[in-house]
Structure formats: C-alpha cells, structure tokens
Amino acid sequence: MFSKDIWPVAITAALGSIGALIASALSLPAPYLIGPAALVTLGSLAGLDLKVPHLVRNIAFLSVGLSMGSGVTPEVLSAAQAWPLSFITLAAMSLALLLIVYAVLKAIFRYDPMTSMLAACPGHLSYVLALAAGVKSDLVSVGVIQSVRVLALTLLVPLFVEMSAPIGAPMPVASTTITPLALSIMGAAGFLLGRGLGRLRVPAALLVGGMVVSSTAHLTHLVEGGIPTWLQIPIYVVLGSMIGSRFAGVSLSDLKSACMAGLTVTIIAGVISVAVAMGVSRILGIPLSAALIAFAPGGLETMAAMAIILHADPAYVGTHHIVRLIFLSFLMPAMIAWVRKR
C-alpha cells in the first residue's frame, strides 16, 4: 500500500525537479516556480497520477511565510504608511474584476449565473471550490477556469515583471542565514500560530503565522539573517508542482471546453491588474515590480514566493494578497446570495 501511494508523489517530485532544472538552464525568471508548474501540468494532462502530500504543502506554506517575514525591516514599516490607499484600490479592482468577468462568462461563454460568478472570483481557489460544492454549479468548469488562471499567471507574471520593471538582483542573498536552531523554533512557533489562525478561518493561516513570527523575531533582533537557500529552492519547486498537480484527473474534453474561458479570464484580469498596478506605482511611489505582483490575481503562496525570488518587496506583495483573500471571503457569500435572488 505504501509503495503504491508513494509513486504519484515520487513522479511529481521528479517532474518538478526536472522542470526547475530546465527553466534554470534557460535562464527564465523564477525558474523554480515556472519550470515545475509547466512540466507537472503537462504530466497531469498526459494522464499521470500526480500529487503533493498535504504535509509537504503545509511545510511549504509555513516556509514561505518565514521567508517573507525575514524581509520586514523598520524601513518597510515606514513605507507601509502609504499602503492603506493601495489596499482600497486593490479591493475596488477585485470587485470590478469579479463583475466584468462574471458578465463575460455569462454572456459570451454561456455559463449559468452561479458557475459564472464562482469562476469569475479573482483568487481564493480552495475557498471558491468549497463554495461551488455547496451550490448548484458546474464544479468541473469552475475548477478548470480557476486553475488555468493560476497557472497562466504563474508562468506569465515573472516574464512580464522582468520585461517591464527593473528588479535588481534576481535572488538576493542575505549576508547571514538563520541558524538551524532558530529556524526550528520559528517554524514551531509559526505552525502553532498558524493552527490557531486556521481555527479562526484566516486565509493562508500557516503562511500568515510564519510571516508574523519571523517578522517579529527580526524586528526585535531576536533573529538575524535570511532563510537558507537549501530550504528556499525546494519550497519553490513544491509550490510550482502543486499548481501543476491541480490538473490531475482533468480530462481533455473538460479542459477543451473550459480552457478558452480560463484564458479569457486571465487576459482580462491581466490587463486590468497591470493598468491598476502601474497607476498605484506612479501615484504612491511603490516599486513597479512589487505592484505588478501584488495586484496580479494569482495564488497567494505562489505570488509571495515570486516576490521573494524577484526581490520585489515580499512584505508589500504578501500583505496585499492576504487582504485580497480576506476581502473575497466576505464578498463571495454576498455575491452568491445576489445571484440566487436574480
């Protein structure tokens, strides 16, 4: 039984590692995310049984939070005074995206109103799928459209950021790294805090827990240094592989019918988010690379990891994606009730 269960995990790990090596050899931006996401997706669509264990996912989420927190400095907190207006802009953009994509899916692709609303949600994939399972909707189409959006943004955002915004060092290296003992203590504290936040239904609870613990430890000078590279790179490979494994079990017919809708959703979301990010960058003085990743409606963990890799103010990016998920957590039940009444 064990050997049977381990094969999908082993194949996923192998494909993710090979994808990372290929993307790195091609000098692609964020290669440890892009490569695994692309190759594991191809393996999933080829019919391979691929999966990332729940425990490994949780470790990855916690580690990304710890890495984000290590970049929080007094200078970052000072710059955060301009963020509330950025948060308001993000919420307004998310609502506009939801309504525009909802109208497109309903009018052009002829999905029913409930499926259109759920598929139009700009993020919070697991939450949306849970909502979809509890209402009358096309669950497969919602899952495919949302997964195509996450995959496409994961592949395209690093390329667009590299072309349009100066990034500086592609992978900043801290002068010191956190000691294994300090890393273990922060990891345990972040896990406990994350579990508590999870009971309060805080989105991405383990990531948030890791970020809070790490940023507090660094700001109070209890800990100094960054997360070691030997931990960061495997975590990015796990996140990329996790995105690709979402397509496991999706038939080509299901993909064909919903893929065009998913790509259309991605294009609409991409154009609007880029325009808004450029405006926020110009008006509030936020670095364009950080604004582009912060306003891209991709997966929280993936976008946060991307900000770390591309040296694009992980605290700004991560905080904005957390705010977006919290906003959508309150917005979506209201929008579902609105659709039901129509």
- CATH code of 217's domain: 1.20.1530
Confidence band for 277, pLDDT divided at 50, 70 and 90? very high
* pLDDT in the model for residue 297: 94
Confidence band for 170, pLDDT divided at 50, 70 and 90? very low
Range of the domain at 246: 2-341
Selected residue with higher pLDDT from 176 and 272: 272
Which residue matches tokens 């500086």? 168
Q: Is residue 97's pLDDT more than 70?
A: yes
Q: Is 227 left (phi over 0), alpha (psi -120 to 50) or beta?
A: beta
Q: Is residue 165's pLDDT more than 80?
A: no
* pLDDT in the model for residue 226: 82
Give the residue-averaged pLDDT of 125-150: 86
Specify the amino acid at residue 126. Answer: S
Give the residue-averaged pLDDT of 82-109: 96
Count how many Cα atoms sit within 13 Å of the Cα of residue 233 in the half-sphere of its side chain: 13
- Alpha-carbon distance of 205 to 225, in angstroms, equals 24
Write the CB contacts of 7 (distance below 8 Å, at least 6 apart in sequence): 49
Give the rounded distance of the alpha carbon of 15 from its chain centre: 20
* pLDDT in the model for residue 129: 79
Q: Is residue 77's pLDDT more than 60?
A: yes
- Alpha-carbon distance of 331 to 91, in angstroms, equals 10
Answer whether 197's CB lies under 8 Å from 209's CB: yes
* pLDDT in the model for residue 171: 42
Q: Is residue 236's pLDDT more than 60?
A: yes
How many helices (H) does the chain have, and how many strands (E)? 15, 0
Answer whether 331's CB lies under 8 Å from 92's CB: no
Write the CB contacts of 341 (distance below 8 Å, at least 6 apart in sequence): none
- Classify each residue of 241-254 as buried b or exposed e, where b means 16 or more C-beta atoms within 10 Å of its C-beta: bbbbbbbbebeeeb
Number of domains within the chain = 1
